[in-house]
Amino acid sequence: MGDNEKVLSYGDVILRKSDLKILRGPYHLNDRIIEFYFCYLSNSISPTINFVAPSVSFWILNVPDVDSIKLFVDPLKLPEKELVLFPINDNENFSLAEGGTHWSLLVYDRKKNVFEHYDSSSINKSYARKLFTNIKDFMGPSSASATFIEHFTPRQRNGHDCGLYVLAIAKEICSYRGDTLGEDWESVLKARVTPTAVSEMRNQILEIINDLSNQKGNSVSS
């Protein structure tokens, strides 16, 4: 089995030993790790926050027929959510499942009717704007007039931690606010999403996976 051996099934996500190697890094995070942590966060926060899976965000970003988005996202009930988080990847090779080199995060805040883009390297702006254009008409009655902004984001200091910055910001969104950002949100990001805190998330996520696996009678420490 080797790297393909399954270590944890959680929600709709199956993690394998190869994913643990990525987390032990330093490596660029893949879709499964992003989706796993989003699923983990969603189980402990308000149902008014929606975490969109990376595969769904990728489809919305690259869909050839924008009119088909409504049927695809209707089950997500996005118009009922106060916050919606979309992970964005710069993959342009649609035949390569784990392609791309950079992650960023697009967050829709309904109370402010704004899409906020968090990018730790300022690389994904064009992709974020395209996703914004594709999805904004399907977020609810007032979302057609929503605006797009590049939000302050702490800077990464290497070429592989972008996905961790996405997860760290998502974590702070869950812990800091229930359904909207406060005026001191930027100071929260500066204080809590530091290079050290972001780097430590690799071990934190590994510990979460190990704890969940142990609950099912398995160990992922090897």
**How many residues in the chain?**
222
Instruction: Note the pLDDT tens digit of each residue in 180-191.
Output: 566 688 888 999
Task: Judge whether residue 179 has pLDDT over 60.
Answer: no
Owning domain of residue 136: 2-215
Q: Give the least confident one: 28-32, 43-47, 114-118, 145-149.
A: 43-47
Q: How confident is the model at residue 217 (pLDDT cuts 50, 70, 90)?
A: low
Establish if 89 belongs to a structural domain: yes
Is residue 222 situated within a structural domain? Answer: no
Query: How confident is the model over 45-68, as a mean pLDDT?
Result: 90
The residue-averaged pLDDT of 205-219 equals 85
Do the Cβ atoms of 215 and 206 come closer than 8 Å? no
pLDDT tens digits for range 3-27: 889 999 999 999 999 999 999 989 9
Question: In this predicted structure, what is the pLDDT of residue 70?
Answer: 87
Q: Is residue 133 part of a domain?
A: yes
Residue 221 domain flag: no
220: in domain: no
List, by residue number, the catalytic residues: 102, 119, 162
Nearest-angstrom CA–CA distance, 206 and 209? 5
Give the chain's mean pLDDT: 90
Is 157 strand, coil or helix?
coil
- For residues 127-142, average pLDDT: 95
* 115, 120, 124, 127: CA torsion to nearest 10: -30
> Omega into 26 within 30° of 0, i.e. cis?
yes
Residue-level pLDDT at 221? 46
Does a structural domain hold residue 16?
yes
Q: Which residues contact 135 (CB under 8 A, 6 or more apart)?
A: 60, 69, 73, 86
Name the DSSP class of 101.
Answer: S
pLDDT above 70 coverage of the chain, percent: 91
DSSP letter for 162, please. Answer: H
Specify the pLDDT at position 100.
82
CATH number of the domain within which 153 lies: 3.40.395.10
On the question of pLDDT at 108 being above 90, the answer is yes
- CA 135 to chain CA centroid, Å, is 16
* Residue 144 placed within a domain: yes
Query: Which of 99, 32, 22 has its CA nearest to residue 61?
Result: 99
Residue 44's nearest CA partner among 178, 138, 163, 189 is 178
The reported pLDDT for the residue numbered 183 is: 65
- Count of domains for the chain: 1
- Distance between CA atoms of residues 190 and 178, nearest Å: 20
96 pLDDT higher than 70: no
Question: What is the C-alpha to C-alpha distance for residues 119 and 150, in angstroms, rounded to an integer?
Answer: 8
Please indicate, yes or no, if residue 121 is contained in any of the structural domains: yes
Q: Which residues lie below 8 Å from residue 217, measured CB to CB, with a gap of 6+? A: none
Query: Is residue 38 scored above 70 in pLDDT?
Result: yes
